Each structure stands twice: as C-alpha cells, then as structure tokens.
Amino acid sequence: MTPLNSVKDGDGRVLVAGAGPTGLTLACDLRRRGVAVTVVERGDGLFPGARGKGVQPRTMEVFDDLGIVDAVRAAGGPYPRMLVHRAGEPPVEWDLIERAEPRPDAPYAEVWMLPQWRTQELLLARLRALGGEVEFGTALTGLEQDADGVTARLSTGDTVRTVRAAYAVGCDGARGTVRATLGIGMTGETVEAEPSVVADVRLAGLDRRYWHIWRDSAHGAHGALALCPMPGDDTFQFVARHATLDGAPGATREALLRELLAARTDLAPEQLKDVVYASEFRVNAALADRFRSGRVFLAGDAAHIHSPAGGQGLNTGVQDAYNLGWKLGLVLHGHADVALLDTYEAERAPLAAAVLGLSTRLHRRAAKRGTETHQLDLAYPDSPLTRHPTAPPATPHSTAPPAGTPAPGDRAPDAPATAPDGSPLRVFDLLRGPHLTLLAVGDVTPPAGLPPYVRTHPLPATPPYTAGALHLVRPDGYLALITEDAQEVTSYLAALSG
C-alpha cells in the first residue's frame, strides 16, 4: 500500500460538494485533521430557511467535539410546548418531546431547537476558524475518477475550471449532481403524495411561548397548519400540510400564505407581516442503493431522504460526516489502510435505513416519539471495526456486566472522572479532538509505544466503564474494543494500518 499522503496527484485534498449541515460538518472535521478541503456550493449563500430545526442529543455531542456546542446552545433553545387549537374548545397544551435533565452519561439530554440556517452559520464560522472556506455560486458540473484521484469540473459564473482531489463527497442533497453523475439510484416510497408548504414568517399578536397547531380545516388533520416560534429571532416556522405555492413569485406567495392562515386558523390574514423564506415539499423516504463508488462518497440527503417527523434527517447527515471524516483523515495521512474507507457504507447504510424507517413510522403515527429519536443508542456492534472479546468459559460465579455498561460498538458515554493528579474532569474532555483515545480504567497497564494519533489516559474506576480494562475509543466516540490484554490494543491498531 502506498500512503495517499505521498501521492501528489490530488494533493491529499477532499472535494466536498454542498455546504449544508452535512458538508460543513465534514469540512470542519477534515480541516481539524489537517486535510485540505475544497467546499463548493451551487447557491450564492447558505440555505436561508429554518427547515431542519431539531438538533438531537447525539449531534450536540458531535458539535461539542467540533467546538461549537456553546454557540449552538446560546443561539437555540428548548422545544416549546404545543398548543392545539380547535374551534369552540379551549386550546390543549402538551409536550411533543420527552423532557429530561442532563445525566452523567449524557450531558445533552433532549432535542435542542435551532433553525437550520443558524446551524449552518455556526458551522461555517468554525470552518473559517480552522482555515477553510466555501466557494459559493460554484456548481459541480462534472466528475470523473481514476486510480489516483478524482477530477471535478466546476462552474462559477462564466468561469469553468477543473480541480483534482484524492476523494470527493457528495453532500449536495437528494437532487444533487454527485449521485446522478455516479448513476446510483435511490429506493424508497412516497410518504405523502400531496405537497406541503414550509415558510419562515413574521407574525403579530401570536404568543411565542407555544408551538401552535390548528386542525379544524375542512380536511381535518390533513389540512393542519402549524406555527412554531424560532429561537434567536422574531420568526415563526409556518407549515401547512396538503397545500401548494404553485410556483408563485414572492408577492403572490405572501398572499397565498395569508389565505392559508385565514382558512385554517383563527388568525387574521393581516397578522402575517413578512415572509422571509417559503417553499413547498413532498414527503418521501428513500435510501441510496450505494453510499460509495470508488473514490466518491455520498452523505446526508444525497444518501437518504427522510420525513421531517422526528427530526432525523439533518442529524443523520451530520453523523454520516462524523463517521467519514476520521476515516479519510487517517487514510490520507498514511495511518490507515485504504480498506478503512470500506467501513463507511458498511456502518452508515444499515443505520440510515433504520432511522429512515423510524422517521416514516413517526410520520404515519405508527410509533411514539421518544428517546429513540435522540440517536444516543445507535451503535455499530456488527461493524468490521468492532472487536468483541472471546467469551470466557462459564463458571458458577460468573456474572453479567451491570446494566448500562457499554459494550464494543456502543457510543462511549460521558462520565465524571478524576485525573491522576486528583483534579476532576469528564470523559468527554479526554475524547474531544481528532485522535483515538485509550482509556485505562482501574488497575490495568496500557501498551507502550502507541502511535501519536492515539492518546492514552489512565483513570481510576469510572462507572459505567469496566474497571480493570482498556477501552479503545474511535475518533467519532464509539468503542472499538474493551479488553484486559494490552496486546489486543496493539493488534487492533496494527490491523487498522494494514
């Protein structure tokens, strides 16, 4: 194997098509690993709408690792309670989500509301702090690959140029160029054939403490209209099921939204003061037939399309990027065999399919929204990167691990811990960064001479981690192995490097 960082063709660069949450997360993760990144976005700026407004707890942990979680918390807020309006009845107040307090193992315990446009702004600011940039108004119009890299054709206005990269990642959405160029199909279904409308609007005289729902149209629940106050500004997200804008221009769109408001709610049309953004959509559920073709990968909506129910689409895309970034980084720096990249599809495709099913069930009200949407329990137990210990012979005195003890393939939980000098810290403090982490918990000796991309931390007994064991944690926060044998750690890393 020739380490790709020694291959001059493509300069160890990654081309990222699309500057949505997925593409920006991937670009941030690669830049902090010292990987050169070219990010191109067809639009003249970031996506302007609130669309994917729910940031799940697992994604908050990713943002913690990337260094933007404090900004995300400051810019967003908890989900408001729902207020359902029915003609002739008092409004009914209820919670869409399960409220939860932070736990020792999960510092971000419930979904956080932040409009997608603001999430993207924070990711872009982080990318720029890491020395990266987005080329706006630049369309990827062609893509070819060979044994050494990819050649992309980029169009900016009247200027056309080609760019070489070692790898390319399509984060350019369901209708993006990359998947179409690769000829990769999508398999799925239409969840709702009729279009719906989503808009960001300014309204007068509506209580911003609540997420308002009206269900009293002539079409019942199918004609529902929702107005959700967005944190950090004065807008509401306006969603009307089974409605269309019919391709209308701005002024007409505003008139159509006022008509919907008057027809489906008890609000006066003149209470709608301004339309910041508006579009229509159809609810589909689909999964790409493949997540990779040679040196080109698909992530986010380019790989899977979700119903907005449950807030899974944006978050699954962020997790795609978080899974792929560290693998590209290790390969491009020559620390891992190129076979590591095969595990991206092996790990992400089954999880994306499972989350896709959850989103569809939630949309059809065939499942109850709960902690399953938080993505904290998603795991890779069957991954080729997960090493399970050989079970010792059963003895009369053998006992099962305590409930809540993480196993190989599980997310590595947070926990209060103590440094060797006695100072308090948290496990997430040790995991934060682009490295692999070896936690030596309790009376166990770690191997010597580990590569520099692995950081070793001795800890006293730290529940829920197994005392007297070595825990190797991947850069994306999942446990690769748990063992008492230092040689197993050395062997794992040797296999990773090929």
pLDDT one-digit tens code per residue, 180-232: 999 999 999 989 989 999 999 999 999 999 999 998 655 455 689 999 999 99
Query: Which residue ranges does the chain devote to CATH 3.30.70.2450?
Result: 189-284
With H, G, I as helix, E, B as strand and everything else as coil, classify residue 169: strand
Average pLDDT over residues 45-68: 97
User: Which strands make up the sheet holding 150-156, listed edge to edge?
Assistant: 138-145, 150-156, 159-165
Between CA 335 and CA 378 the distance in angstroms is 27
Token pair recorded at residue 187 = 């398999």
pLDDT one-digit tens code per residue, 457-479: 999 999 999 999 999 999 999 99
Alpha helices for 197-304 (secondary structure H): 250-264
50 exposed, middle or buried (CB, 10 Å; 0-12, 13-18, 19+)? buried
**Does the pLDDT of residue 324 top 50, yes or no?**
yes
Residue 420 confidence (pLDDT): 85
Mean pLDDT over each residue of the chain, to the nearest integer: 93
Token pair recorded at residue 177 = 């160029």
Query: Which residue ranges does the chain devote to CATH 3.40.30.120?
Result: 380-498
**Does the pLDDT of residue 1 top 60, yes or no?**
no
Residue 110 confidence (pLDDT): 94
Average pLDDT over residues 3-19: 71
Q: What is the DSSP letter of 369?
A: -
The answer to whether 211 touches 227, Cβ cutoff 8 Å, is: yes
Between 3.50.50.60, 3.40.47.10, 2.130.10.10, 3.90.1170.40, what CATH number should domain 4-76+110-188+285-374 receive? 3.50.50.60
Residue 71 confidence (pLDDT): 98
pLDDT one-digit tens code per residue, 475-486: 999 999 999 999
pLDDT one-digit tens code per residue, 265-313: 999 999 999 999 999 999 999 999 999 999 999 999 999 999 998 889 9
Instruction: Report which of 14, 4, 34, 2 is spatially closest to residue 332, judged by C-alpha positions.
Output: 4
**Does the pLDDT of residue 261 top 80, yes or no?**
yes
Average pLDDT over residues 113-137: 98
pTM: 0.95
Average pLDDT over residues 150-162: 97
The answer to whether 56 touches 64, Cβ cutoff 8 Å, is: no
Residue 425 confidence (pLDDT): 96
Chain-centroid distance of CA 83 in Å reads 29
Between CA 256 and CA 197 the distance in angstroms is 10
* DSSP β-bridge partners for residue 418: 424
Token pair recorded at residue 222 = 């199918």
Q: What is the DSSP letter of 40?
A: E
Instruction: Report which of 62, 98, 69, 94 is spatially closest to residue 81, judged by C-alpha positions.
Output: 94
pLDDT one-digit tens code per residue, 32-51: 999 999 999 999 999 999 99
Q: Which amino acid is at 481?
A: L
Half-sphere exposure of 165 (CA within 13 A, CB side): 25
Query: Which residue ranges does the chain devote to CATH 3.50.50.60?
Result: 4-76+110-188+285-374
Question: Of all residues in the chain, what percent carry a pLDDT higher than 90?
Answer: 85
**Does the pLDDT of residue 8 top 50, yes or no?**
no
Residue 107 confidence (pLDDT): 97
Token pair recorded at residue 62 = 């990713």
pLDDT one-digit tens code per residue, 373-427: 999 999 999 999 999 986 554 444 445 567 689 999 999 999 999 988 899 999 9
What CATH architecture is 380-498?
3-Layer(aba) Sandwich (3.40)
H/E stretch holding 238: strand 236-240
Phi, psi (degrees; rounded to nearest 5) at 23: -65, -40
- CA max distance for the chain: 77
Token pair recorded at residue 183 = 């000829």
Between CA 347 and CA 324 the distance in angstroms is 10
Distances (CA, A) of 480 to 37, 381, 475, 493: 27, 9, 10, 10
Average pLDDT over residues 335-363: 95
Between CA 12 and CA 331 the distance in angstroms is 10
pLDDT one-digit tens code per residue, 83-92: 999 988 999 9
Instruction: Report which of 483, 477, 478, 480 is spatially closest to residue 493, judged by C-alpha positions.
Output: 480
Instruction: Report which of 214, 198, 205, 197 is spatially closest to residue 82, judged by C-alpha positions.
Output: 214
Between CA 275 and CA 295 the distance in angstroms is 42
pLDDT one-digit tens code per residue, 359-370: 989 888 877 777
Q: Which CATH code is given to the segment(s) 189-284?
A: 3.30.70.2450
